[in-house]
Every structure is written in structure tokens, then in C-alpha cells.
Amino acid sequence: MNVFIGANGQGKTNLLEAVAMLALSSSPRARREIEVVGPVAQATRIEAEVETGGVVVELAIALSIEGDRAHRVIEVDGARRRAFDLPGHFRVTLFWPDDLGLVKAGPELRRRFLNQMLVQVEPGYARALAGLKRVLEQRNSLLKRMASGEGGGDVLEAWNEELVRIGGEVSKARARAVRELQPEAARCHAEIASGELLEIEYLGPPADMAEAVQNSLAEDLRRGATSIGPHRDDLRVMLDGREARAYGSQGQQRTAVVSLKLAEAALVAGRTGERPVLLLDDVLSELDGERRAALLRQVAGAGQVIITSVEAGPFPPDLISSARVWSVVGGEIEACG
């Protein structure tokens, strides 16, 4: 257990983001890589020595600004690698305040949750995601040309087939993962929330996706976008039989998210035989004392944990005494005691 304590704006979240990037190949927060570098400098580099399965590797990601874009270079033991080759060298489960959107926000964040988990444990998933992105870009471009009378209908069927094939790979992996997550998420939530029932359900494409894609052509041409496929998936989150998004309190929603993240860590451990590094950013805020204590019991002893907080007060004395505690001030990290 590593506890990093510091006031807001000192760099605690940056540390967790850097660790997560080395596991995922991209930022779990930023939509564009230029946002990771920020306005202060023209380049940044993240390096780490990682030990997993008894093997030590050196990982690095370098980002440099070129105009309004960032150029990324990934290295494993000094050799360049592609982005989808990086996940799997070590694994993380990340929770930070923005993850409350897993319950409150739209489906994009819930798809990102499944994607960030699966690129680390499902062989070929990162490549399938990249393929799906390419298919959607090409098919949507073709739909716009067809709608404006430029033709192209002769190649549409080929893109439809690719959408069904790659989309099927992605949706099947997600559906299987949600089935694995359900029992552990329910167990964690019941323990933290005094028996409250958490249920999750995967809402994927129609069973016969090929037929649905064909039937949606008129609507797709009207919109100039693909309306059927795993890019429209969602994950329904229920608390005691009701939609958590509509009926859950802030504390209930936060507990549901934490339970999903702990279930993610269990799934990663079950599939790989090794616990992921658990990254918890200000996770104790907005939880009452009972739920806070239950959460800390869950994560204590769960492999390597990196947790941040603005103060040491929320942590039980026995946990703090057995943890490595660090202070973060102005981007500088120092050991305490």
C-alpha cells in the first residue's frame, strides 16, 4: 500500500495517470494526447521499470508536440512498439473522481471502462478496437458520399461485412466480461453498502447484427453515420432493482463505481493470475465512515495499491503504519518518515 498525500493541484492525479498510461498506451483521461503534455513544455516522457510474473521490463512513452498534434513513441526495453502491443506488460485498475460518470453520464464512459479493462486481458482486443474505429470511419465517409449522390454503394457491402465481423468480436468480449464482473461487483457492493444489491447488464448490438445493419441503411444514409454496432453499446447499472443513474444518491453511485472497479481487479487477477496495480485517486471523498472503512478492508492486501488523499485522517492508524506514505508538493514527491 502506497499512500500519496497532498493538497489539491499538487500532482497526485498526474502520477496515477502516468502509471495508467504505461499499462494502457494512452491516457485514460484526455481525449487528445496534446492535452497530456499541456502548455508548459513541448514534450514529455514517462518511464518505469515493471516487474510482473517474475520478469522485469522497462517501459517508456514519449510525447512531443508537432503543431496542434502530439507524436507518440512507445518503447519496451528500448525497442519501439505499436500502441496495441503495449497493454499486457502489466495491468492496472484505476478509479478517480471522473469515474462517477460510469453511473451518471452517458454510455461512452461505460464503454471506455470495458475497453480499458479488456485491452489488458483479452488477446487481440486492442487490435479489434483499432479495426472497429477504421471500419466506422470508412463506412461513415462512404454513407455521406452516397447520401450526396456520389455513388459508392458497390463497396458498402464489404464494409458491412467488416462491421459485423469485427463488431462481433468486440461485443462478444464485452458480454463475456460483464458476466464475469457481475457476481464480484455484487459481492463487493453488498459488503461496502450493507447488503444493497448491485446488478449490471450488458446492452449490446442485436443478436442478428448483419440483418440489423442491412435494415438500418435508410437511417444511416439520412444521418451519415452508422447506427448499429458496438460503438452504441451500454452497461446498465441497477441498485435494488432501480436505475442507479436516476435513483441512486451520490454516495450510492460512488459505491457502485468502486464496486465495479474492485470487480475489474478481480477479473484481471482471475484471467492473468496476477493482481493489477490498484490506482485509487481521492476515492475516500464523499463516502461515509462505514463505507470508507469497508472499502479500505477490501483493498488492503490486494496486491500493489497506490492511493491518493488530501490528508491522512480518513485512513485507520494500522493501515497508515503498515503503508509507505509519501507527500506531494508542487509536483515533487518525498517519503514521509
What percent of the chain clears pLDDT 70, i.e. is strictly above it? 98
CA distance linking residue 95 with residue 100, whole number of Å: 9
| CB-CB contact of 34 with 27 (8 Å) | no
CA distance linking residue 260 with residue 184, whole number of Å: 8
Note the pLDDT of residue 194.
Answer: 86
Q: What is the mean pLDDT of the chain?
A: 89
Q: Which residues pair with 232 in a beta bridge?
A: none
Model pTM score: 0.84
Q: What is the tens place of the pLDDT at every residue in 123-162?
A: 899 999 999 999 999 999 999 999 888 877 788 999 999 9
Give the residue ranges of DSSP H helices in the chain.
Answer: 12-24, 34-37, 101-104, 107-121, 125-147, 153-192, 209-215, 217-223, 244-247, 250-272, 289-299, 317-322
CA distance linking residue 22 with residue 90, whole number of Å: 8
Lowest mean pLDDT among 1-15, 27-41, 87-101, 283-297: 283-297
CA distance linking residue 184 with residue 285, whole number of Å: 23
| CB-CB contact of 319 with 296 (8 Å) | yes
| Long-range contacts of the stretch 75-83 (C-beta < 8 A, 24+) | 83/25, 83/26, 83/126, 83/130
CA distance linking residue 129 with residue 106, whole number of Å: 20
Q: What is the tens place of the pLDDT at every residue in 191-207?
A: 888 889 999 999 999 99
Q: Which residues pair with 260 in a beta bridge?
A: none
Calculated CA dihedral for residues 27, 32, 34, 38, nearest 10 degrees: -70
Note the pLDDT of residue 283.
Answer: 77
